[in-house]
Structure 1
Amino acid sequence: MTSLTAPNTAAPPEEQVTPGRTRSTLARRLIPYGYLSPTVLLVVVLMVVPIVMVISYSFRDNVIVQENSVFAGFANYTKVLTDPDFLAALKNTAVFISVSTVAHLVLGLAFAMMLNTQLLSGVTKAIFRIVYILPWLFTIAVIAVIWRLLLDPSGVVNYVLRTLGVVQEGVNWLGDPDKALWAVTFVNIWSGYPFFMISLLAGLQGIPNDLYEAAAVDGTNWFQRFLHVTLPQLRPVIVSMAVLDLIWTSQQFALIWMTTGGGPLNATEMLSTYTYKQAFSEYEFATASAAAVIVLLLTMVLAFFYVRQQRER
C-alpha cells in the first residue's frame, strides 16, 4: 500500500543578515560618493564659499580694510546703481557683448558654409581651415599685445590705410574715446569667431542631404533652402552658442585690461574692469562686492535661459 505524504510547505528559514554583510552593503553604496567627494569639496571651497563671502561683503561697509565692519544693508547696491561709471560700464558691456555675439554668429556661419560647400577642393578647404582657426590658437595676452601694435598710430593698420588713401594721418584707435570701444569689439570678434565657425560647421555636416534634395525637387532656390532647411536645422546650435557667447563675452576682462584698461575716459569700461578697479585701485571692497553680485545675477539670467533651452532641446 502506497502512502501519500503531504508536500512540505514550511517557509524556508529567513536569511540572517550579519553585521559584516551590512557593513559591506553600506560600503558599496558609499563608494560613488567617495569618488565624488574630492570634486564636491573643490566646488564648495573654490566656488560656494567665495560666493557666500562676496555676498556677505556686499551688505557691509569697510570690509577687509578695517577689522570691524558695519552692516550697511543695501547702501552699497544703491551706491553702485547710481554711480555714473557703473552705468557707463553697463552700457559699454551691453554694446560690447551684443555686437560681438551677432558678428560671431554671422562670420562663423559664413565661414562654416564656405568650408562645407562642394565648390572647393579638399586641399583648399584644409588651407582655409588652418587660416580661419589661427585666431583661436592665441591666448588673450598675445592677442592684446599683437593688436596694440597693429592699431598703434604708427602701426600696420594705419600704414595700410594711409597707403590706400583712406586716412591722411595715423589714427589712435585705442586712445580715441569715439573709436576705442569699437576697436576692442573688433579685436574680440576677430579672436572669438573660430569657435562659432567650428560648432556651426559640425552642425552643417550633420544635416541630411535628403532634406536639400527634397527641397530642390520642390523647385526652391539656394536662399530658400538656406532659410527653410539650413537655419531650422542649425537653430539648436545657434541658440546654445549665442547664449554661451553672451555669458563668456560679458566676463571678458583680460582683453580690455591689456589693451585700454577701461579708458580712455571710461570709453571701454566694462563691468569686469569696473569691479576690479573698485576693489584693487580704490580699495572699496564692499562696493566691488555689490558690483560683483549684480554681475552674478545678470549672468545667472543668461545661464537660466541656456539651461532652459538645453532642456527643451
Structure 2
Amino acid sequence: MKLANLNPTAAPPDTKVASQTPAAAGSGKLRFFARGLVPYAYLSPTVILISVLMIVPIAMVVSYSFKDNVIVEENPVLVGLANYTKVLTDPDFLVALKNTFVFITVSTVAHLVLGLTFALMLNTSLLGGVTKAVFRIIYILPWLFTVAVIAVIWRLLLDPSGVVNYLLTTVGRMQQGVDWLSDPGTALWALTFVNIWAGFPFFMISILAGLQGISSDLYEAASVDGAGAVRQFLNVTIPQLRPVLVSMAVLDLIWTSQQFALIWMTTGGGPLNATEMLSTYTYKQAFSSYEFATASASAVIVLLLSLVLAFFYVRLQKER
C-alpha cells in the first residue's frame, strides 16, 4: 500500500495554475472594453451624420435667435428674448400663424375624409379587379407629380382664362373668370384645395392597407349579431383603423405645417399676406429682409410647435 503525499504545499501534477499575471488580466479587460465599443462603432457614422446635419445647425439657429445682426455683422450682440418678442408681436407673424392653422386643419381633415372614402371604394367587392386597378392608377396620379409640376399645373388651371373658370362660366355658375390665386378672398382656399389634391393619395394607400388588414371574421360576427353596413363601419372598421387614422393625422399636421415649396411657387405668400404661412414668413425674414436673427426666432417657434406634435405622435406609437 502506497502512502499518499502528505505535503500540503505540493500541487497535483495535472492541476493548472488559477492565478493570472497582471498583464494577462489587463489584456482581458482591454478585450472586454473593446468588445463593448463595437456597437458604438457601427452607430458612429449615423451619429456623426445626424450631428453634422441636424444637431449642429439647430444649435446654431437657436443661438442666433438670442443675438442681433447675426451673419450680416461680424460681432453680433446678445439681446436675449428680444427677437422672440419682436416676432410674437409682429402682425405679419400673427396672420401667418392664423393662415397656417387654417391650412393644416382643413388639409388634414380633408386628407383623412377623402383618403378613407377612396380607400373604401377600392376595397369594396362590388368592383372588379381591372376596374380597381384603373381607379388606383387615376387616384394615385397626383402623388406622382413633383411640387413644381403641381404648382405649374394648378396655376394654369386656376388662371382667369384657365380651364376651371371656363367650366364654371359655361355651366352658368359664374359670369366672369376669377383669378383664384391672386384674389385675397379666394387665394387661401384655392391653395388649400391644391394641397389636398396633391396629398390625399398617400392617405388613400395607407388607409387601404389598413382596411385590407382587418379580418373578415369581425364583419361576419357583426353580421350574425344583426349589424348592418353602417353599424359595421362604425363598430368594426373605424375602431380597427383608429391607430392608422390617428397616426396619419398627426404626421399630416407636421408635414403640412412645414409646407413651403407649393406655397412659394403658387402664391409666394400673397396676395396681401392672404396665404402667408410660418414657413414663408421665416423665409422672407431671412432672405428678403435679411433679418436672420428674427428668422431664427421664428424658426425656433416653428420647431417647438413641431416638437409638440411629434411628442404626441411618439406617445401614440408607444401606446400602440
User: Is the counterpart of residue 116 in structure 1 residue 120 in structure 2?
Assistant: no
User: Is the counterpart of residue 186 in structure 1 residue 182 in structure 2?
Assistant: no
User: Is the counterpart of residue 270 in structure 1 residue 277 in structure 2?
Assistant: yes
Residue 285 (structure 1) aligned to one of 280, 283, 292: 292
Which is further off, 176-185 or 156-165? 156-165
Q: CA deviation at 1:162?
A: 1.4
CA-to-aligned-CA distance 1:233-277 (integer Å, 9 cap, x gap) = 000000000000000000000000000000000000000000000
Q: CA 1:277/1:14 → structure 2, altered by over 3 Å: closer, same or farther? A: same
- Let me know the Cα RMSD of the aligned residues: 1.9
The SS at the match of 1:108 is helix
The SS at the match of 2:137 is helix
Q: CA 1:11/1:75 → structure 2, altered by over 3 Å: closer, same or farther? A: farther
User: Is the counterpart of residue 231 in structure 1 residue 238 in structure 2?
Assistant: yes
Q: CA deviation at 1:163?
A: 1.4
Residue 96 (structure 1) aligned to one of 79, 85, 103: 103
User: Letter of the aligned partner of 1:296 in structure 2?
Assistant: L
User: Is the counterpart of residue 13 in structure 1 residue 3 in structure 2?
Assistant: no
Q: CA deviation at 1:167?
A: 1.1
User: Is the counterpart of residue 257 in structure 1 residue 296 in structure 2?
Assistant: no
Match of 1:312 in 2: 319
The SS at the match of 1:220 is coil
Q: CA 1:112/1:22 → structure 2, altered by over 3 Å: closer, same or farther? A: same
CA distance in 2, matches of 1:259, 1:233: 38
Q: CA deviation at 1:279?
A: 0.3
Identity %: 75
Which is further off, 114-123 or 27-36? 27-36
User: Letter of the aligned partner of 1:231 in structure 2?
Assistant: I
User: Letter of the aligned partner of 2:226 in structure 1?
Assistant: G
Residue 176 (structure 2) aligned to one of 153, 158, 169: 169
Match of 2:48 in 1: 41
Q: CA 1:12/1:312 → structure 2, altered by over 3 Å: closer, same or farther? A: farther
Higher alpha-carbon Rg: 2
Match of 1:146 in 2: 153
The SS at the match of 1:272 is helix
Match of 1:72 in 2: 79
CA distance in 2, matches of 1:66, 1:24: 52
Give unmatched runs, 5+ long, in structure 2. Answer: 7-11
The SS at the match of 1:170 is coil
Match of 1:155 in 2: 162
User: Is the counterpart of residue 84 in structure 1 residue 91 in structure 2?
Assistant: yes
Residue 254 (structure 2) aligned to one of 244, 247, 255: 247
Q: CA deviation at 1:297?
A: 0.4
TM-score, reference length from structure 1: 0.95
CA distance in 1, matches of 2:19, 2:236: 64
Number of residue pairs matched by the alignment: 311
Which is further off, 27-36 or 291-300? 27-36
User: Is the counterpart of residue 58 in structure 1 residue 65 in structure 2?
Assistant: yes
Q: CA deviation at 1:312?
A: 0.4
CA distance in 2, matches of 1:72, 1:21: 55
CA distance in 2, matches of 1:15, 1:197: 69
CA distance in 2, matches of 1:72, 1:221: 65
User: Is the counterpart of residue 126 in structure 1 residue 129 in structure 2?
Assistant: no
CA distance in 1, matches of 2:199, 2:77: 43
TM-score, reference length from structure 2: 0.93
Q: CA deviation at 1:172?
A: 0.5
Give unmatched runs, 5+ long, in structure 1. Answer: none
